[in-house]
Amino acid sequence: MGVLETIPVLLSSSSSSSFLDTSTVIALTVFFALLCACIIIGHLLEENRWANESITALLLGLCCGVVVLLISKFHSSRILVFSEDLFFLYLLPPIIFNAGFQVKKKRFFKNFTTILLFGVVGTVISFCLISLGAYLLFKRIGVTSLDIQDYLAVGAILSATDSVCTLQVLNQDETPLLYSSVFGEGVVNDATSIVLFNAVQSLDVSNIDLLTALKLLGTFLYLFFTSTALGIAAGLISAYIIKTLYFGRHSTDREVALMMLMAYLSYVLAELLNLSGILTIFFCGIVMSHYTWHNVTESSRVTTKHAFATISFIAETFIFLYVGMDALDIDKWKSSKQGTSIAVSSTLFALVLVGRAAFVFPIANITNCIKKRPSTKIELRKQFIIWWAGIMRGAVTIALSYNQFANSDKTLTEDSALMITSTIIVFLFSTVVLGSITKPLIEAVLLRNAKPAHSDATDIPSLDDLQILFLENGDPSDQGGSNEPARRKGSLSLLISNPTSTVHYFWRKFDDKFMRPVFGGQGFVPFVPSSPTGAADPQTS
C-alpha cells in the first residue's frame, strides 16, 4: 500500500527527469497518431468519389490545427514549426526516389520528348507569365514593397505543380500515355521549378539584361545534366557493388540497407555540390530499378519494392498533414490584411490557370502536328486533363514560399506575410476544392468519349516492327530473314519518323551488350534464384 501511494508523487517528480524534450514527444505522439488516423480513414474512404488520401490528411491537419488553436487560446496553432530541412532533407527525397524506382521506364522514355516539353519548357513559360503578371498586377492591389527578385521567385514558387490528386484517379493501364505524361511532367516540373528558384535566388538583380537570362539558362542546363549524371552514376555504382560483392550470400538486409543508403547518399551529395538533389535521386531510382534491383535476392526485391513505396506514402501523408496543421498559424494571418490577401491569392490563382493554359494547349497541338499516327496524338479532352492535373499546388510551393518570404528577413514584413498567406490560400483552395472534384470530373471527361483501352497505348510502332526493321543486328534465332530486304525498305521511313523508338532500340542493344554484363539486370544475374514474377520489373510483379 505504501508503495502504491508513492507512485503519483514519483511520477510527478520524474516527469522533469526524462531524457527527452516533452514538447518534442508531444508533437511526435500527435503526428504519429494523426498519421495512423489518416491511413485508416483513407482506407475507409477508398471507394468514395470525392475524398482522397491527400485531402483527408490536409483536412485532418486543419482540424488538429483548430484544436491546438483553441487549446492554446489563439496563441499558436503549430505543434512543430515548418522546417525546410525536414521537408527537403527527409520528406521529399523518399517520394522522388520512389517515383523513379516505380516508374514504368519504357513508357516514361517513350514519352520523354513530350515530358520534357511539358516539364521544362512549359514550366519556364508558366514561370515567365506568372512573374510578369504578378509584376504588372500586384501594384494595383496595393502590394508595393516587393522587388524584382521577389516577383521572379513568385513565378518559380507558383510554377511547382502537384499532380498527386490526378494521378490517384488516372488508371495507368487504361490511359498509359496520359498517365506517363502527367506523372513525368510532375517530376520534371518539381526539379525545374526548384532549379529555377535556386537560380533566381542566386541572381544579381541590380543589372538585368540579356546576359542574366543567358546565365539563368546556363545554370539551368548545367544543373540539369550534372544532376542527372550524378544520379545515374550513383545507381550504377550500387549495381556494380552489389553484383560484384554478391551481398545476398551473407545477408539480404545488407542489400536493402545499401540500396537505401546509396540512394540517399546521391541526394545529399548532389545538395552538397549545389546540384538538384531531386533530379539526382530520381535518376538514381530509375537506374536502381533497372540494374541494382535485379542483382539482389528475391526477398530483397519484394522488400525494396514495398518498403520504398511505404516510406514514400508515409512522407506524402506527413507533408499534407503538416501543411494542413501549419496553415492556420496565427502569426502569419495576424500580420496580413484579409481583403488584400484574398485579392492577391485570386490574382495568383488566375495567373496559374492562364500560365498553365498558355503552354499545355500550344505544346500539345505542336506535338500533335509532328506526330503522324492518330493514336499517339493528344486529343482535346486529354489536353484538358493535363491542364487540370497541373493546377493543384502542393508542398513544394509551400516550402519554397517559406524559404523566400519567411527566411529572408528576421521579422515578417507585411507583404512577406501576405505572400505566404496567399500561397497557402491558393494551395488549400486548389487541393481541397479542385482536388475533390478531380475524380468525378476526370471520370466524366474520359468516359463521355470512351475509346478502346489500347487507343493511346502505342506511342511507337510495336517492338516486333522494330525487330524486323533491325533484324541484321538482332538475335539470329528470332526469325529467318527471308523477306527482309523488301520489308526493310518500307521500314526505313518508319525509322526516320520515329526517332524516339530508334533511340530506344539502340539503347536496348547497347544495354544488353555492354551495360548489363557489367552492372547486372534482368537476365544477367545467374546466381539469384529466378521466379516468373520476381524477375520482372518492380512495377509489374
Restricting to residues 87-126, which ones interact with its own copies according to CB under 8 A? 88-89
Q: Taking CB under 8 A as the rule, does residue 320 contact its own copies?
A: no
Distance in Å from the first CA to the final CA of the chain? 61
Residue 292 identity (one-letter amino acid): T
Smallest distance, Å, CB 378 to its own copies?
Answer: 30
Longest CA pairwise span in the chain (Å) = 101
**Binders in 204-233 for its own copies, by CB under 8 A:** 204, 211, 214-215, 217-219, 221-222
**DSSP structure string for 36-63:** HHHHHHHHHTTT-SS--HHHHHHHHHHH
Residue 240 identity (one-letter amino acid): Y
Smallest distance, Å, CB 245 to its own copies?
Answer: 6
Site string for its own copies, 46-65 (x = CB under 8 A): x-------------------
Q: How far apart are CA 69 and CA 238, in angstroms?
A: 48
**Binders in 370-409 for its own copies, by CB under 8 A:** 399, 403
Smallest distance, Å, CB 533 to its own copies?
Answer: 10
Q: Would you say 270 or 351 has its CB closer to its own copies?
A: 270
Q: Taking CB under 8 A as the rule, does residue 40 contact its own copies?
A: yes
Q: Taking CB under 8 A as the rule, does residue 271 contact its own copies?
A: yes
Piece of 22-30, 58-66, 280-288, 367-375 that binds its own copies (CB under 8 A): 22-30
Piece of 24-32, 133-141, 184-192, 358-366 that binds its own copies (CB under 8 A): 24-32
Q: Taking CB under 8 A as the rule, does residue 134 contact its own copies?
A: no
Q: In sequence order, what are the residues at sequence separation of 6 or more whose Cβ sits closer than 8 angstroms to the Cβ of residue 486?
A: none
Q: Taking CB under 8 A as the rule, does residue 250 contact its own copies?
A: yes
Q: Which of 20, 369, 486, 496 binds its own copies (CB under 8 A)?
A: 20
Can you name the residues that pair with 127 across neighbouring β-strands? Answer: none
Q: Which of 124, 129, 165, 256 binds its own copies (CB under 8 A)?
A: 256
Q: Taking CB under 8 A as the rule, does residue 268 contact its own copies?
A: yes
Whether residue 364 contacts residue 386, with contact meaning beta carbons closer than 8 Å, is answered with yes
Q: Taking CB under 8 A as the rule, does residue 43 contact its own copies?
A: yes
**What cell was used for 506?**
539502340
**Which of 322, 310, 331, 309 is closest to 394 using CA atoms?**
322
Whether residue 234 contacts residue 284, with contact meaning beta carbons closer than 8 Å, is answered with yes
Residue 460 identity (one-letter amino acid): I
Q: In sequence order, what are the residues at sequence separation of 6 or more whose Cβ sits closer than 8 angstroms to the Cβ of residue 199?
A: 216, 219, 220, 223
Tell me the C-alpha to C-alpha distance, in Å, between residue 538 and each of 113, 169, 186, 302.
24, 21, 21, 8
Q: Taking CB under 8 A as the rule, does residue 313 contact its own copies?
A: yes
Q: Taking CB under 8 A as the rule, does residue 28 contact its own copies?
A: yes
Q: Taking CB under 8 A as the rule, does residue 19 contact its own copies?
A: yes
Q: Taking CB under 8 A as the rule, does residue 2 contact its own copies?
A: yes
